[in-house]
Structure 1
Amino acid sequence: MAFLRASDLVNTNTRLRRQTFSFAPFIKPFRINYNPKRSQIGQLVIQSNNKSLDPLIYNSRERKHCFKNVESELVSSNCLNDDSSTSWRVPRKVLVVLNPNSGRGRSSQIFRSEVQPILKHAGFEMEVIQTAEAGHALALSSTIDLRTCPNGIICVGGDGIINEVLNGLLRRSDIDRAISVPIGIIPTGSDNSLAWSVLGIKDPVSATTAIVEGGLTSVDVFAVRWVDAASVQFGVTAACFGFVGDVLELSDKYRQYFGTIRYVIAGLMKFVSLPKYSFELEFFPSTGEKTKQNDALLPSRSEENWVKRKGEFVGILVCNHACKTVQGLNSQITAPRSAHNDGSLDLLLVHGSGRWRLLVFYIALLIRQHLLLPFVEYVKVKSVKITSTGTTQKGCGIDGELIYANGQATCSLVQHKLKLLGYHHRKQK
């Protein structure tokens, strides 16, 4: 007598007319391959109670919702008879852009050993390209023939490589078609805030499972424009000015040697020699009502609608989602009132200067009480204009990458939205 259990990695593809059953008795597991009629669709993986049978899938800790009654689950899901079911369909032909330097150089090994076998098992056709230098992913996504990856581009790395791919797609002449190509995330980098905040995923195996299961999540995209420099940079996580921007600049020097802890080292070094940051800014408050995408780019020009601030700020953060941190015992949530598709940005102003004020803010951030501080201002906005009036700020950080630019920077949402492969299971429930 054998014990059958179905794993959560159950997927269907209308182009694959084959059904695979993993059947394991208590003593020795073996596999039975069954080719159904053409009217039956999909690939079904039924996993036994034996963990050694399929360790790559079984080790996905966050998706172990196995069901006991296999027959009733098959009937309820209609995965054998319903050709119109779209929830079981997964993308097939994809481009994988891999940053070999992310995760202290372990991303290639993680992809080959943990991610690629699952994608192959699910029937994905992959072209894998490793980036050779900074900006390679941007150049690749801005010139690649999109017909070679109609079902998506999977980024293996951190938030930086996703930002490069996004900027490349938005710089194409066929921008409408390019932005419709979904992007998948395999988090192996130092900063994986997008995957954790939007999809609730921290590890590569869970991210791969989410991609295989299918589904799309729409995410707002913002642009930072420098009028004087005639340049624009797109992002999906956050734009940072002040202390955080300087930490990003310093931490980049230690990227190869210290991995994720380079932010801590750079932060401590910058904390000791903390300068004063002076800014002038104007922001257009959001009414809380969702507007048309085209309207998000052009808030009212009436001066009375813009709110002005001037003075010293330890930091200025413009967040596009909650900006949860993966590192640390307690995951920090920088913008707790933010949503990734609410049609607005969340502006966080840390007024004042000095090491003591900065220390108090970060301690409060660790315990998620920073919005209660009297010198912290939090407001939802449609657009914000920021101008550095001092000599200490050289640029700003966008999605964890430092961008050098001078003059006034304007942050606002664009009409296009990023489509992420996968969805947040808890939010869907």
Structure 2
Amino acid sequence: MGILSSDTFPLLVVLNPHSGKKQGIHVWETVVQPALNHAQKPFRLIESTSQGHVQSYFNDNIKPILTDLVQSLSIVNDPSALSSSIARPSTATLQVMVLGGDGSVHEIVNGILQGVAGTEFVSDQFRPKIEFAIIPTGTGNAISTSIGVTSVQDAVDRFLAGKVVPLRLMTVSTRAKTGQSSTFAAKWDTRLYTVVVNSFGLHCATVYDAEEFRHLGNERFRQAAMKNVENLKQYEGLLELHGPVQTYDRSSKSLGLVGGGSDSLQLRGPFTYLLITKQASLESGFTPTPFASTSDEWMDILAVQNAGQAEIMTMFGGTPNGQHVEQEKVDYFKAKAIELETPSQGRLCVDGEFLTIEGGPEGRVRFEVTLDPNIQIFSIFV
């Protein structure tokens, strides 16, 4: 059986009243809800109460939500039929609208994938499609900015128009231990999934310190960045980009494959600034990875090594229009699998959360755009 329409199933609206400048409720009541009512689009409102609440909600409820979705489309009448390979559809579409920021999307993605892990709710026999409509009421709104959304009304219009593209995920994995011993196996354990950015060095320190300026909205990132530039540090680490790898050539102003597409690449640091991302912009006026695509199978890497204060400020000055990639200290790559190793304990920023990594080969972290169709079930209205 083919893809099922979600027209008769309520749109799940996730409202984060605390994100950004806390305008979510006002935007919902004055713009979004009236538009949905006018379009006769049924919805179910889920309001976030605290950080982590939405992730827990979807972890706990995604299986009954998917069961209700299939039943509502009159495909099965038996509540147990979704666990049967006989009377169920091959796929169904669940639409989720987010009034919040990128952190809310991160929570929903991880909650859904945790909730269906190890079950038949996502399998070769039944694979749902999750379509995101992101209404930009967060602090950075990286995903919305990267796909060119200009306003709340624009985001609503795009949802109603119905065009979607894949929302590719990055896996963040660490070394797996063998049994109860301290020995590490060659395999990797996926810790979480990210949709926006993983960072190390100055960017990670900036996001970490920005919490103390949260009351300033987007301005908090500038304040935290200036604080860290004034006390600029270099961060030791080894970055391995596994082939195929693309690199930006400033002389030809184009991206090209390294070694014809088979070669890997090592950067030994120290790093001043390191981003691994799927989005071109992290906020309006800040486009650190201008060649990134929300929907392709590449991660974009911006690496700055051994830069001083003046060089970092020059780089920041070029980020509104992406011209910083022409600067000597800025290296730009694309890869599909990346590993990062630090000599001592370090910190990563993963979609605004923070992950402590151990030093040495055992503490390596791997980033990858997975091709697993049971993970890449998400898309976004554009």
TM class by shorter-chain length? Answer: 0.7 to 0.9
Spell out, residue by residue over 1:285-342, the C-alpha distance to the aligned partner (whole angstroms, 9 max, x if none).
3367xxxxxxxxxxxxxxx94322212111111121323522xxxx332222222222
The one of 311, 319, 333 equivalent to 1:365 is 319
Answer whether contact 2:244 2:264 (CA < 8 A) is retained.
Answer: no
The secondary structure found in structure 1 opposite 2:218 is helix
2:73 is matched with none
C-alpha distance in 2, partners of 1:91/1:369?
Answer: 47
1:167 is matched with 110
C-alpha distance in 1, partners of 2:221/2:16?
Answer: 19
The secondary structure found in structure 2 opposite 1:183 is strand
C-alpha distance in 2, partners of 1:175/1:354?
Answer: 48
1:316 is matched with 274
Answer whether contact 1:155 1:161 (CA < 8 A) is retained.
Answer: yes
Answer whether contact 1:317 1:349 (CA < 8 A) is retained.
Answer: yes
- With the length of structure 1 as denominator, give the TM-score of the two structures: 0.68
Q: Residue 129 in 1 paired to residue 50 in 2?
A: no
1:402 is matched with 354
1:383 is matched with 337
Q: Residue 98 in 1 paired to residue 50 in 2?
A: no
The secondary structure found in structure 1 opposite 2:104 is helix
Answer whether contact 2:206 2:221 (CA < 8 A) is retained.
Answer: yes
2:161 is matched with 213
Spell out, residue by residue over 1:37-65, the C-alpha distance to the aligned partner (whole angstroms, 9 max, x if none).
xxxxxxxxxxxxxxxxxxxxxxxxxxxxx
C-alpha distance in 2, partners of 1:241/1:362?
Answer: 16
The secondary structure found in structure 2 opposite 1:366 is coil
The one of 222, 235, 248 equivalent to 1:277 is 235
C-alpha distance in 1, partners of 2:19/2:199?
Answer: 21
After the TM superposition, which residues 276-315 of structure 1 pair with which residues of structure 2 at under 5 Å, given as runs?
276-286=234-244, 305-315=263-273
The one of 143, 146, 154 equivalent to 2:97 is 154
Answer whether contact 2:94 2:128 (CA < 8 A) is retained.
Answer: no
Q: Which has more radius of gyration?
A: 1
C-alpha distance in 2, partners of 1:402/1:91?
Answer: 39
1:403 is aligned with what amino acid?
Answer: L
Seq. identity, %:
21
The one of 206, 225, 228 equivalent to 1:267 is 225
C-alpha distance in 1, partners of 2:300/2:143?
Answer: 15
Answer whether contact 2:245 2:263 (CA < 8 A) is retained.
Answer: no
The one of 341, 344, 348 equivalent to 2:295 is 341
2:197 is matched with 238
The one of 164, 167, 175 equivalent to 1:227 is 175
C-alpha distance in 1, partners of 2:194/2:240?
Answer: 20
Per-residue deviation, 1:247: 0.8
Spell out, residue by residue over 1:100-135, the C-alpha distance to the aligned partner (whole angstroms, 9 max, x if none).
101222211211121111111111211111111111
The secondary structure found in structure 2 opposite 1:240 is strand
Structure 1 stretches of 5 or more lacking a match? Answer: 1-85, 289-303, 424-429
What is the aligned length? 314
C-alpha distance in 2, partners of 1:143/1:341?
Answer: 28
C-alpha distance in 1, partners of 2:173/2:299?
Answer: 15
Per-residue deviation, 1:418: 4.9
Answer whether contact 1:320 1:339 (CA < 8 A) is retained.
Answer: yes
Answer whether contact 2:59 2:112 (CA < 8 A) is retained.
Answer: yes
- With the length of structure 2 as denominator, give the TM-score of the two structures: 0.75
C-alpha distance in 2, partners of 1:116/1:175?
Answer: 31
1:371/1:182 CA distance change after superposition, 3 Å: same
Per-residue deviation, 1:91: 7.3
2:255 is matched with none
1:92/1:133 CA distance change after superposition, 3 Å: same
1:275/1:179 CA distance change after superposition, 3 Å: farther
C-alpha distance in 1, partners of 2:21/2:283?
Answer: 18
2:129 is matched with 180
C-alpha distance in 2, partners of 1:318/1:412?
Answer: 10
Structure 2 stretches of 5 or more lacking a match? Answer: 70-92, 178-188, 247-261
C-alpha distance in 2, partners of 1:399/1:202?
Answer: 22
1:247/1:131 CA distance change after superposition, 3 Å: same
Answer whether contact 1:153 1:183 (CA < 8 A) is retained.
Answer: yes
Spell out, residue by residue over 1:180-216, the C-alpha distance to the aligned partner (whole angstroms, 9 max, x if none).
2212211100011101212x21322211111112122
Q: Kindly report the root-mean-square deviation, in angstroms, between the aligned alpha carbons of the 2 structures.
A: 2.5
Answer whether contact 1:248 1:397 (CA < 8 A) is retained.
Answer: yes
Answer whether contact 1:320 1:345 (CA < 8 A) is retained.
Answer: yes
The secondary structure found in structure 1 opposite 2:140 is coil
C-alpha distance in 2, partners of 1:280/1:179?
Answer: 38
1:351/1:91 CA distance change after superposition, 3 Å: farther
1:117/1:405 CA distance change after superposition, 3 Å: farther
1:262/1:179 CA distance change after superposition, 3 Å: farther
Answer whether contact 2:238 2:267 (CA < 8 A) is retained.
Answer: yes
